[in-house]
């Protein structure tokens, strides 16, 4: 991979390794998306998964937020649901409703319907987008690859979309624990291969999104969600020990200690978690990422700046990657995202 342009801004990678940085690096989950008029304009022409599957377009959308804000990392434009697609399930993105699986997994017998994917072929468009984006970035920011976590993907594959209670997927855990474990292990294997391929294609860090971790009891998380999450990081680290792995298990504050004991280098916090308490639990075992409540971006700029300062003080200058506690919302004002990013840089420069 030596033909990639040299990384001129390594603050994100340094913070992930808990090395000293001149300022706190910052990026935003869902930084490319509908709150940007240039994304809406591009999306008006193509269906969501068409954009995802077209490397030129995915690269363009990945770069859009970096043209507006001095972000320290880019995240490749794609979706966690490309893995269920590679496993043979149909996924549609329904306007105003979100993802929809016309034929979700109805029971353990449906596991036989799942394909055995060749990740580098079936998801080759993601790798191509990463390689293109890494070149186009010219070293201005680090490039993050990602995938969904096994539990979150299993939940979508069984629910067929979003859900209030996720009772169908949780029913599997309690009625069909063996089938659940076998599905989770199968997804984990695909996740690990996919992340390794993404790194080979140019990703400089990878993040695993366990967006629905908070639906599980601590016991269910430990029994079902954690083992495949651990397996993914172990496999990626065996091949690419130097590449930071980030885990974002939304709502799973009870799992901080266990996650700190895993191969993940960085633990993402949602906004319900107290940074000082997280630091106390995690210690020097991992860097932390997060965790401003995305709704603070609806406030006036001075309020955003004050909240950023509070966040930076709570995390401290070492081993912190600033981010939101979840993704950007479609009705966020890009000008307020700019205030957030600039405030992180300004305050951390002053205090470090
Ligand atoms: O900028 C980035 O963060 C990179 C791109 C990215 C998208 N989805 C683009 C997207 C990333 C990292 C994701 C991850 C993702 N996708 C997650 C984990 C993060 C989280 O939010 O918890 C989840 C749960 C999904 C599944 C998914 N995809 C949902 C629930 C939705 C619909 C929600 C909505 O906002 O409508 C999507 C669609 C989606 N993924 C959009 C984008 C920009 C909007 C679709 C559109 O353009 O119509």
- Span 289-301, pLDDT tens digits: 999 999 999 999 9
Active-site residue, selected from the candidate residues 30, 68, 120, 186: 30
| HSE of 316, CA atoms in CB hemisphere, 13 A | 16
Compute and round to an integer the Cα radius of gyration of the chain: 19
Extract the runs of DSSP E, i.e. beta strands, from 203-244.
205-210
Q: What is the pLDDT of residue 351?
A: 66
Mean pLDDT of the chain: 97
Could you tell me the distance, in angstroms and rounded to a whole number, from the CA of residue 216 to the centre of ligand 1? 21
Would residue 30 show up in a list of annotated catalytic residues for this protein?
yes
Q: Residue 6: what pLDDT?
A: 96
pLDDT per position as a tens digit, 294-352: 999 999 999 999 999 999 999 999 999 999 999 999 999 999 999 999 999 999 997 65
Q: Is 67 a catalytic residue?
A: no
**Counting atoms of ligand 1 from 1, which one is nearest the CA of 43?**
47
Query: Tell me: the pLDDT tens digits for 13-32?
Result: 999 999 999 999 999 999 99
- The answer to whether residue 1 scores a pLDDT higher than 70 is no
CB 217 within 8 A of CB 254: no
Phi, psi of 163 (to 5 degrees): -160, 155
**pLDDT tens for each residue of 206-253:** 999 999 999 999 999 999 999 999 999 999 999 999 999 999 999 999
Domain residue ranges in the chain: 11-351
Per the annotation, the verdict on 35 as an active-site residue is no
- What separation in Å is there between the alpha carbon of 223 and the centre of ligand 1? 27
pTM of the predicted model, to two decimals?
0.97
The fold of the 11-351 domain, in CATH, is TIM Barrel (3.20.20)
Q: Is the CB of 207 under 6 A from ligand 1?
A: no
Distance 284 CA to ligand 1 centre (A): 31
Structure tokens given for 274: 């107290």
Return d(Cα 206, Cα 139) in angstroms, integer: 17
Active-site position among 17, 34, 186, 309 = 34
List, for residues 257-300, the tens digit of each pLDDT value. 999 999 999 999 999 999 999 999 999 999 999 999 999 999 99
31 in ligand 1 pocket by Cβ < 6 Å? Answer: yes
């Amino acid at each position: 991979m030596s033909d990639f342009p040299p990384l001129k801004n390594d603050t994100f990678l340094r913070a992930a390794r808990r090395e000293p940085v001149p300022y706190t690096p910052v990026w935003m989950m869902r930084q490319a998306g509908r709150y940007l008029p240039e994304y809406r304009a591009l999306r008006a022409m193509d269906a969501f998964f068409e954009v995802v599957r077209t490397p030129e377009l995915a690269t363009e959308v990945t770069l859009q937020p970096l043209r507006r804000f001095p972000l320290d990392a880019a995240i490749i434009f794609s979706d966690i649901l490309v893995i269920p697609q590679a496993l043979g399930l149909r996924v549609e993105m329904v306007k105003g409703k979100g993802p929809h699986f016309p034929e979700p997994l109805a029971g353990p017998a449906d596991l036989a319907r799942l394909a055995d994917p060749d990740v580098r072929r079936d998801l080759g468009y993601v790798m191509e987008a990463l390689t293109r984006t890494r070149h186009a970035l010219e070293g201005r920011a680090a490039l993050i690859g990602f995938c969904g976590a096994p539990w979150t993907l299993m939940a979508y594959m069984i629910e067929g979309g979003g859900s209030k209670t996720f009772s169908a997927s949780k029913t599997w855990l309690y009625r069909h624990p063996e089938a659940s474990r076998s599905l989770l292990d199968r997804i984990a294997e695909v996740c690990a291969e996919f992340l390794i391929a993404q790194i080979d294609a140019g990703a400089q860090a990878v993040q695993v999104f366990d967006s629905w971790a908070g639906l599980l009891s601590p016991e269910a998380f430990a029994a079902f969600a954690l083992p495949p999450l651990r397996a993914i990081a172990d496999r990626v680290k065996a091949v690419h020990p130097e590449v930071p792995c980030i885990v974002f298990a939304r709502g799973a504050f009870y799992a901080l200690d266990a996650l700190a004991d895993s191969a993940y280098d960085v633990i993402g916090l949602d906004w319900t978690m107290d940074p000082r308490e997280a630091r106390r639990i995690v210690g020097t075992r991992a860097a932390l990422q997060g965790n401003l409540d995305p709704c603070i971006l609806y406030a006036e700029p001075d309020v955003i700046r004050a909240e950023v300062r509070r966040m930076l003080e709570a995390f401290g200058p070492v081993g912190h990657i600033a981010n939101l506690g979840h993704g950007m919302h479609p009705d966020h004002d890009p000008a307020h995202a700019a205030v957030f990013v600039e405030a992180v840089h300004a305050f951390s420069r002053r205090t470090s």
